[in-house]
Structures are given as C-alpha cells and as structure tokens.
A and B are shown apart, each in its own frame.
Chain A
Amino acid sequence: MSLARGFSAALVGAGLLAGTWSESIPEPLARRSPAGEWILAADFHVHAFPGDGALPPWALRHEAARAGLDVFTVSNHNRVSTARLARWMSRQSPGPMVIVGQEVTARGFHVIAAGIEERVNWETSPADVVRAVHEQGGVAIAAHPIRRFWPAWNDEALGTLDGYERAHPVIDRENTRAELASFDRRIRAMRPDIAAIGSSDFHWTGSVGWCRTYVLARDRTAAGVVDAVRAGRTVAADRQGRLYGDPALVSAVEAAGGFIAPPAERYRWLSIGLVWFGLLGMVALA
C-alpha cells in the first residue's frame, strides 16, 4: 500500500474510532404526566432493511435508543415481514420496543397501520383500509397529509382515523408546513380528540425520531402505546421541539420536561470529515 493510500486508510480508521468513542446513548427516561401516565417517546413511521430502509432492524433499534426513543413502529410500504422480524429481535434484549406496522401505500393516500399482525390490503378506499387496521386491533394514522393526499381524505375517511401526522420532516419546508397545519385545522374541527402524531418517515436520510410523538400511556408496553393512540393521548413534536396537539396534553408533557433532544455528539463532524476525506483519498490516490 502506498503512503497516500495508507494515510487515507488511517484517516478512515481515526474517523471511525472518533465516532465510536463519542457515541452517546441516553438512559431511558421514566417520565410521568401529572395524571400518572407514562410519557414515552415514539416514532410510528420508520422504514427498515430488508425493504425501503437503509438500516437493518438491529441497527435501527440502536439508533432509536440513541435518539432517546422508547418505542418505534417499523412500517415498510405494504409489507410486515421486516417489522415482525424487528419485533422478534427486540424481544431478545433490552432497548426500545418495536411495534409491527405497515405504511399502507395506495394511489392517493398513505396510512400508517400500527399494532397489526398481517398485511393490510391497500387496493381499496381509505375508510376500508382503516377498518381493516381496526379489525386487527391496530390504529390507523394518516401519513404526511399534505395537499396531494387531501382528495382521498373525505369526511367519512377522516371520521375513521385514529391519528394523523402533524409533525413530519416536510414540516421544515414552508409550503408543506402550511399544508400540515391546514389539515390539522380541518381534522381537529371534526375530531378534537384525535391523536396528533410526529414521525420521522425514516428511509435513507435524516434520522429516526427526527420528528416524534410523546405518548401518554397507562402501561409501558406496545399494547399500552397503541391504546393511548386510540384514545388520542399523544403530543407531536418537530425537530425544533415545538409541540402540537391537545393543549391540555401539551401542558402535561411540558410539565414533565417537554421535548428532550438527543444528546449532541462532540466529535460527530470530526469523525464524518475524517472518514469522508479518507475514503476520497482511497478512491482517488495511488
């Protein structure tokens, strides 16, 4: 190996060591609302490998713990096999709980089905999809309800939902932020007690828990989390820590400490820079 390549490889190694050394996994919190409910940090919209996500379930769970999540739903497009694998693996060791889900992906609408066991048929109407989710004991959440999905959400369909994504990474763009807010006003006028959900829609960029949901659950179990969504006991949070939902629930979460950002990693940029330049050197230099 030449000196230039050796130096590049050393940069990669140093970057990996710096990143590994500076990684920080926060301790799980045991927060309670004034009413005594558990306040759990959740992400109901996460994609995994094998499927349309980059990370395999075991790495995803590690990242969820790093993001300070207590629970997440693996919700691949129109499949549940990876989600079931993820749940099985999650039961083998301590860490964030995994809920089996599916992003029911149809022409004109997407629905997050959380707490299901079998794949839900997507070739039907939104209301029928939600009913199929309920038949399995799950909850149905309107995924990223921006303008292009509005035509599917007529009053009948809205009346069946358990929740809707109030915070999603598209909230960082001005036009789609306004569209999420508009959908929020419309559905809350009809259903003031519906669950406000924050999700990352994690595939290949961003991070798990980018937007998140604080769930006020009676039990610290997956079933308890699904029940809390069904009962509308949630608060959505975006990346900046803004909270959305029922003002009484927002106050309860704020009283317990509010939004808690994942810990900053001291050498994150250094490690990324070293690895990136090292790899570039290994590709480009003799």
Chain B
Amino acid sequence: MLSSELKLALAPEATYQTLVDEQTIGTWSRVLAHAGFYLLLFGALVAITATGHITLGLMFHITLSWSFLIAWQALAGGVIILPARTRRVSLSRAFELLFLAYVPWSLYALTMTALAVLAEPNLPILIVALTGVAPLAWTSALVAGFCRTVLGKTAADARRLTLMHQLVIWGGTLAYVWFAVGGWTPILQAVGL
C-alpha cells in the first residue's frame, strides 16, 4: 500500500536493492513523469502558501516559472550518476531512482504548507529554516543509499558523492538566493551578522 518513495524513505538500502533487483527497464518518459510530478507538487504547494488559494492557472504559472529547478536537479544527479562505471541499472533508471530520494522534501513541503495555511500568514522563518535540517539530513541518507546500492559505490565513495551532490544543489540555491535578494547584505542580516 505504501509507495516506493515512502518505503525508500523508511528503509533506503533495502528498498533500493529491491528496485534494482526488479530489473525494470528505465525510460526517459518515466524520469520526466517523476520530475514533472515533483514540479507540479511544488507549484501547487507554492500556490497555496503564497496566495491562500489554488487554481489551475496559478499552479500552471508557478510550475512553469520554477521549472528550471528540474534542470538543476538533473544536473546535480548527472554529476554523480554519469561518471559511475559501477552503475547497476540503465542511465534513465538511475535518474528515476535518484528522483525517488527527494521524498523527504515532498513531505516537508506538505507539512510546511499545512502549517503556513493554518498559521497564516506569519509562519516564523526561523522555524522553516531550522526544521529544514531534517529533510536535508534525510535526503542525504537516501542519496548515500542510492550511491551504494544503485551506483555500486563503497561507503566512503558514497559519502563523497552525496556531499558533491548536495554541494551542487545548495551551491545553486545559494547563488539563486544571492541573485534574488540582491547581494549578501540581506543574507547576512537574516543570519544576524
């Protein structure tokens, strides 16, 4: 009854092993479907958080605007998947399985959206930032499991690749924040410096 994503979140290595053993043929359309679902989830939840309502048009416009996030995630995935010669599944299947590892962020976004709607509008930014550590650590554990089980890496290499993957993602995030808030001044202020 539980989805692969949720099983993965609860038992990363065992679930990845099962998914690898299934020998499912990966297709790029399935990769796009996974990526598209996460983007639609993002668009829907941002619409609700930002406006307190949701319509087809609003969700479409937000999803379209932020669709570069998928390219960014694909880039971060490519950094660890493409060089892996010990990969145990096809390239498209590897991307598909990596996208499953983002489930902690989906659950976090759902939770934060519910809190934002119920506490409207002043959900303290500190709560959002501090609780964000949980999906960050959780996703890192899943990505590490992916590297060991799907890419066939040793534990040490998996940790190194996970770090690289997260650096690409958070380096890009920081670059966007820097652009979005117009330089370092607001960022330093936000952290009390």
Contacts and interface: CB of A to CB of B under 8 A. Distances in A.
Interface of A: 4-5, 12, 15-17, 19-20, 23, 49-52, 54-56, 58-59, 62-63, 66, 76-79, 105-107, 122, 169-170, 172-173, 202, 204-208, 210, 265, 268, 271-272, 275-276, 279-280, 282-286
Interface string B139-166: 0000000000000000000000000000
Nearest to A79: B182
A279 B45 contact: yes
Interface string B62-93: 10111000000000000000000000000000
B121 A206 contact: yes
B126 interface: no
Contacts of B183: 77-78
Interface of B: 1-6, 37, 41, 44-46, 48-59, 61-62, 64-66, 103, 106-107, 110, 113-114, 116-117, 120-123, 177, 179-183, 185-186, 188-189
Given A12-B44, A59-B58, A206-B122, 19 more contacts: A4-B1, A16-B56, A51-B181, A54-B49, A54-B50, A55-B51, A105-B182, A122-B185, A172-B122, A204-B46, A205-B50, A272-B48, A275-B44, A282-B37, A282-B41, A284-B2, A285-B1, A286-B2, A286-B3
Nearest to A148: B189
Contacts, number: 147
B59 A16 contact: yes
A206 B121 CA distance: 4
Contacts of A275: 44, 48, 54
A4 B107 CA distance: 18
B120 to A, nearest CB: 7
Q: List the 9 shortest-distance A-B pairs measured between CB atoms, nearest first.
A: A78-B182, A206-B121, A77-B182, A52-B180, A54-B50, A59-B61, A20-B55, A19-B54, A56-B65
Given A77-B180, A79-B182, A56 B57 contact: no
Nearest to A282: B37
B176 to A, nearest CB: 9
Contacts of A15: 54
Contacts of A106: 185
B107 to A, nearest CB: 7
21 contacts: A5-B3, A19-B53, A49-B66, A51-B181, A55-B62, A58-B61, A59-B57, A59-B65, A204-B50, A205-B121, A206-B52, A268-B52, A272-B53, A276-B110, A279-B41, A279-B110, A282-B37, A282-B41, A283-B41, A284-B3, A286-B4
A271 B55 CA distance: 9
Contacts of A169: 121-122
A56 B61 contact: yes
A106 B181 CA distance: 11
Contacts of B185: 78, 105-107, 122
A169 B122 CA distance: 8
B175 to A, nearest CB: 13
Contact of A77 (B5, B49, B64, B181): B181
